[in-house]
Amino acid sequence: MKISRTLSVAALALLPHQALADSNVRYASTDTVVLKSDGSKPDVQIVDFGENHEGFPTFEIISASGNTSVFEVSYAEGYTALDSYMSDGPIIMAAAMDSYRVKRYNISKPGVFENRLVQGGFRYQKLNLSSAGELHLSSIGTRPTVDTTPIKDLPGYFECSDDDISRIWSAGARTSQLTEIPKDSIPDFWIVSEQGSLVDSVAPQNYAYGSALSSYNLSVEVKPSTGAFTIGVLMDTLNAGLFINANVFEGTLAAVASDGSSAIATASFEPLLSAGPVPVVVNVQGSNITVTIDTKDVASFSQSRFTFGSFGLGAPLAHSAVFKNLKVTDLTSGQVVYDKALTNRTILDDFLMGTNPLNTIVDGSRRDRIAYNGDLDVSVGVSFASTYATDFVDGSLDLLGSYRLESGPFVPTAKIQQRPLPAPLPINATGLIGYSFNLICAMAQAHYFSGNQSIATTWAPAVVSMLDWADSKLQDGLFTLNDSSLVGDWNYYDPPQTGASAKFNSLYAYALQQSTPLLKAAGVDATVYEARLDSLRKAIHDRLWNSTLGAYALSSEIADGFAQDAQAFSILAGVPQSNGISPEAILQTMEQKLLLDAGPLAFSNETVAHGFARKISPYATSYHLRAALEVGDGGTAKKLLKSLWAPMVDPSNANYTNCIWETLNPDGTPGLGQGTSLCHGWGAGPTSELNKHLLGITPTALGFEEWQVKPITLDLASAAGRQPTPKGTIHVSWRFDNELLRMEMDGPKGGKVYLPQPLRIGPDVSAFHVNGKSIAADEFPVSVAGPTIIQQVRR
Q: Could you tell me the pLDDT band of residue 20, with boundaries at 50, 70 and 90?
A: very low
User: Which residues, including other chains, have CB under 8 Å from residue 519's CB and lie 6 or more apart?
Assistant: 456, 460, 463, 464, 526, 529
Domain boundaries 705-794, corresponding CATH code? 2.60.420.10
Q: How far apart are CA 375 and CA 390, in angstroms?
A: 16
The helix or strand, by DSSP H or E, that contains position 439, with its residue range, turns out to be helix 434-450
Does the pLDDT of residue 6 top 70, yes or no? no
Residue 274 confidence (pLDDT): 77
Nearest-CA neighbor of 216 among 237, 233, 235?
Answer: 233
pLDDT at 151: 98
DSSP secondary structure letters along 488-509: --S-TTSPP--BSBHHHHHHHH
Please name the amino acid found at residue 112.
Answer: V
Question: How do residues 721-744 score in pLDDT, each as one tens digit?
Answer: 999 999 999 999 999 999 999 999
pLDDT(244) > 80: yes
DSSP 8-class letter at 786: S
User: Which band of pLDDT confidence, cut at 50, 70 and 90, is reported for residue 22?
Assistant: low
pLDDT at 7 over 60: no
Specify the CATH class of 170-179+357-688 in words: mainly alpha
Query: What is the residue-wise DSSP string for 418-438?
Result: PPPPSS-BS----S-THHHHH
Task: Let me know: does 619 contact 378? Beta carbons within 8 Å.
Answer: yes
Strands 751-753 and 782-784: antiparallel
Identify whether the C-beta of residue 448 lies closer than 8 Å to the C-beta of residue 705. no
Q: Are 486 and 433 in contact (CB under 8 A)?
A: yes
- Give 371's Cβ-side CA count (13 Å radius): 34
Residue 152 phi, psi dihedral angles, 5° rounding = -65, -15
| Residue 80 vs residues 200, 562, 645, 670, 673: alpha-carbon distances, Å | 27, 34, 21, 11, 10
Name every residue whose Cβ is closer than 8 Å to that of residue 150 and which is 6 or more positions away in sequence: none
Whether residue 2 has pLDDT greater than 70: no
Task: Determine the pLDDT at residue 262.
Answer: 81
Task: Return left, alpha or beta for 417; rule: phi > 0 is left, psi -120 to 50 is alpha, else beta.
Answer: alpha
> For 188-205, what is the mean pLDDT?
98
Please name the amino acid found at residue 536. L
Q: What is the pLDDT of residue 428?
A: 85
Contact 311, 304 (CB under 8 A): no
CATH 2.60.120.560 domain locations along the chain: 191-351
Range 5-145 classified under CATH 2.60.120: yes
Q: In this model, does residue 30 exceed pLDDT 90?
A: no
Question: Could you tell me where in the chain the CATH 1.50.10.10 domains are found?
Answer: 170-179+357-688
Q: What is the pLDDT of residues 574-593, one digit of tens each?
A: 999 999 999 999 999 999 99
Answer yes or no: are the C-beta atoms of 125 and 77 closer than 8 Å: no
Q: Note the pLDDT of residue 429.
A: 84
Confidence of residue 29 (pLDDT cuts 50, 70, 90): confident
pLDDT digits (tens, 9 = 90+) for 252-278: 999 999 998 888 999 999 999 877 899
Residues in the chain: 795
CATH node for 191-351: 2.60.120.560
| Per-residue pLDDT at 17 | 28
Summary mean pLDDT of the chain:
95
pLDDT in tens, 53-109: 999 999 999 999 999 999 999 999 999 999 999 999 999 999 999 999 999 999 999
Q: Higher-confidence residue: 180 or 14? A: 180
Q: How many CA atoms lie within 13 A of 558 on its CB side?
A: 22
pLDDT tens column, 333-359? 999 999 999 999 999 999 999 999 999
Comparing 427 with 567, the larger pLDDT belongs to 567
